[in-house]
Structure 1
Amino acid sequence: MNYIRTAMLLAGMTALFMGIGFMIGGQSGMLIALLIAAAMNLFSYWNADKMVLRMHHAREVGEREAPEFYRMIRELAQNAELPMPKVYIIDNPQPNAFATGRNPQNAAVAATTGLLDMLTPEEIAGVMAHELAHVKNHDTLIMTITATIAGAISMLANFAFFFGGNRNNPLGIVGVILMMVVAPLAAMVVQMAISRTREYAADRMGAQICGEPMWLASALAKISRGVEHIHNPDAEANPATAHMFIMNPLSGERMDNLFSTHPNTQNRIDELRKLSDAGLGTGGKGGRSGPMSFTRQAPQQAGPWSGAGPTGPSSAPRRPKGPWG
C-alpha cells in the first residue's frame, strides 16, 4: 500500500509539472516539460548521490579511519541482507544521518560527527539500521526523484510569470499568478507526504534489522533535541535535501515547522514502543530472537566512540575525539 501511495503521489507531481508546462506554452509546453522531467530524473538517477554528499561535505571513511562505526555498518548490512554500502562522516555538530544511492549496490550512508558524539553505540545502531532500511526499500531513489521534480516545479512556476502569456493559456495572467503560488506549495505537500510515508516504514524495518526498537526510539528523542538547538548551515543552503535525513535538519528555521518533511517525532517513538511491547527485541515475535550487541571497547585505536566529542542536548557521556577531530 505504501508503494501504491508513493506511485500515486509521484504521478500527481509529474502531472503538476506538465500542467505548468501547459500554462507556459500550451500543448507543446506540456510536452517540453515532460521531456525536461525525464532528463532531470535520468541525470539524478546516476549522479544525485554524489551531488548530495558533496553538498554536505561528507568524506568517505573505511575501517582504518573509523573502525567501530564501519564494523557496525557492516554487521547491520549483513543482517539486512544488503551489500556493504560506502560509509561517510560529515563534520557537523548537529546529530543527523541520511542514506543515498540509486540502488543497494550503489548505496552510501552518512552520519554527522554530532550523531556519533552524542549517541550511544546502541542508539547509533538504531539510526543506521533505519538508514539501511531506506536502502533496502529503494527509498533513496524515490526521495531523489521527488526532490528533483519538486525543485523543477518551483523553477517552472517562476518561468510561468514571464512566459505564461501564451494565447493557448486558458486562464490568462490570473492563472499564471495562481500557478506561481499554488504549484510550489502543492509540490511541497506531495514531497512531505512521500517522505512521511517512507519514514514510518523505515522505522519499522530498521527496528527489525537491529533487533531493538527502543534503540531508535531513544536516538530520535536525542536527535530531536539536537536539531532544535544546533544549526546546520549546509542543510540551510540546500533545503531540498532535508527530507533525506532521519530528522528534519531545518527545524526551527523558516517555515519548516509548518511544512515538515518528517512525521511528528513523538508519534514515531510511540510506534516504535508498540513494536517493543509486541516483543521485537525482547525475544518475542520480532524479526530476530533479540537485539544485536554493540559494546564500546577500551580504546586501543582511534574510533567513533574512543572518546568525548562536544557535549550537546544529550545525557551521553563525554569521550575523547574520534578520527574526525
Structure 2
Amino acid sequence: MMQWQADWGLRGRMGLTMVLLGLLYVGFIAALAVSGINLLGIVLILGLFSFGQFFFSDRLALRSMGARTVSEDEYPELHATVGRLAQQADLPKPEIAVADSQVPNAFATGRSQSNATVAVTTEIMRTLDQDELEGVLAHELAHVKNRDVMVMTIASFLSTIAFMIVRWGWLFSGGHGQGGRGGNQAPIWVAIVVSLVVWILSFVLIRALSRYREYSADRGGAIITGKPSALASALMKISGRMDRVPEDDLRDQAEMNAFFIIPISKGFVGRLFKTHPATEKRVERLREMEREIETA
C-alpha cells in the first residue's frame, strides 16, 4: 500500500490561498474599525451562529439529504468496508448513513475525526462495483482525516460576516434615517462597499481552497486503498450518471455541493464558481498516481 505522503505542491497552493484569505480578512477588520461599526457585536452574534452550525453540521447535512444513520445489521457489508478503510487510514470508524436518492453521490461530515459521518446514496451503491465504492468511501475518509469541515468553516467565518454587512449594513447605522458618528452615513456605506469587495474576493478564494482540498482528498483516498484507478473509474461513472438524474432531484440537493464527491453543476450558475475541480483533471491526476505505483 502507498505511504501517506504530503503533496507539497498542493499544500503550497492551499497555504498560499489561506495566506491571501488571512491578509484579506486583516484588511477587512481594519476597514470596519475605521468605519466605526460595532464589530465585536457582529462577531459575537455570528460566532455563536457559526459555532452552532459547526457543532451540528453532521445532523444538518444528513437532514438536508434525507439520510439516516444505519446499523451494522441493516448494511453489514457497507459497515465492514468502512471499518476496514478507516483502520487503514488510522481513523476511528465513523457513523454510516444512507440516503434513498436517485443521485449517485457520497459525502462526509462532522466536526472532528472522532465525530464524523460518512453518507452514501442508494443509487451510488447500485452504480459502483466494490472497488469503485471503496475508492469513494476512502475519498470521504480522507476529508475526515484532513479535517476539511473545520478548515472550511474557519475559512468562511469572516466571509459570512462580510456578506451579512452587505445585506444588513444599514441596520448597523441605526436605521434608514441615521448614520454612525453624528448622523454621517459615509462610514457605514464605506464599510458596506469594502464588505462587498471582501465577500466577492473571499468567495473566489474559498472555492479555490475547496477545489484544492478535493484534490487532496482524491490523493488521500487513493493512498488508503492503493487503487487510484478505482476512484478514477468511480468519478467517471458518477459524472456520467448525473446527466440521467431528474432535474427536480438535482435542484433539491444542489445545496450540498460542497460536501458531495461529485458536485451538481448543471447550468451556467452551477458551473460559474465550482467547489470541485473538473472531473477530467481529477481523473488525470489519479492516473498519474497509478503510473507512479506501476513504476515503483
1:11 matched to 2:26? The reply is: no
Shift in Å, 1:253: 3.9
- Give the alignment's TM-score, normalised by structure 2: 0.81
Query: Which of the numbers 197, 207, 211 marks the counterpart of 2:226?
Result: 211
What's the CA shift string for 1:82-116, capped at 9, x where partnerless? Answer: 11100001111111111111111101001111211
2:290 matched residue in structure 1: 276
- Residues 103 and 249 of structure 2 are in contact (CA less than 8 Å); yes or no, is this contact kept in structure 1? no
1:252 matched to 2:266? The reply is: yes
- Give the alignment's TM-score, normalised by structure 1: 0.74
Query: Which of the numbers 131, 154, 159 marks the counterpart of 2:140?
Result: 131
In structure 2, the CA distance between the partners of 1:53 and 1:158, relative to structure 1 (3 Å rule), is: same
2:6 matched residue in structure 1: none
How large is the RMSD of aligned CA atoms in angstroms? Answer: 3.0
Instruction: Please state whether the residue corresponding to 2:271 is helix, strand or coil.
Output: coil
1:97 matched to 2:106? The reply is: yes
* Aligned counterparts of 1:226 and 1:27: Cα–Cα separation in 2: 52
Same amino acid, percent of matched pairs: 36
Shift in Å, 1:187: 3.4
Shift in Å, 1:269: 0.6
Instruction: Please state whether the residue corresponding to 2:276 is helix, strand or coil.
Output: coil
1:59 matched to 2:68? The reply is: yes
1:33 matched to 2:42? The reply is: yes
Instruction: Please state whether the residue corresponding to 1:263 is helix, strand or coil.
Output: coil
Query: Which of the numbers 237, 247, 262 marks the counterpart of 2:276?
Result: 262
Which residues of 2 match residues 156-305 of structure 1 at below 5 A? 156-160=165-169, 163=172, 165-167=179-181, 173=189, 175=190, 178-179=193-194, 182-231=197-246, 236=251, 241-249=256-264, 251-253=265-267, 255-279=269-293, 285=296
* Aligned counterparts of 2:256 and 2:156: Cα–Cα separation in 1: 7
Shift in Å, 1:157: 1.5
Shift in Å, 1:4: 3.2
- Residues 36 and 180 of structure 2 are in contact (CA less than 8 Å); yes or no, is this contact kept in structure 1? no
- Residues 203 and 272 of structure 1 are in contact (CA less than 8 Å); yes or no, is this contact kept in structure 2? yes
In structure 2, the CA distance between the partners of 1:192 and 1:12, relative to structure 1 (3 Å rule), is: farther
Structure having the larger proportion of residues in helix? 2
Instruction: Please state whether the residue corresponding to 2:135 is helix, strand or coil.
Output: helix
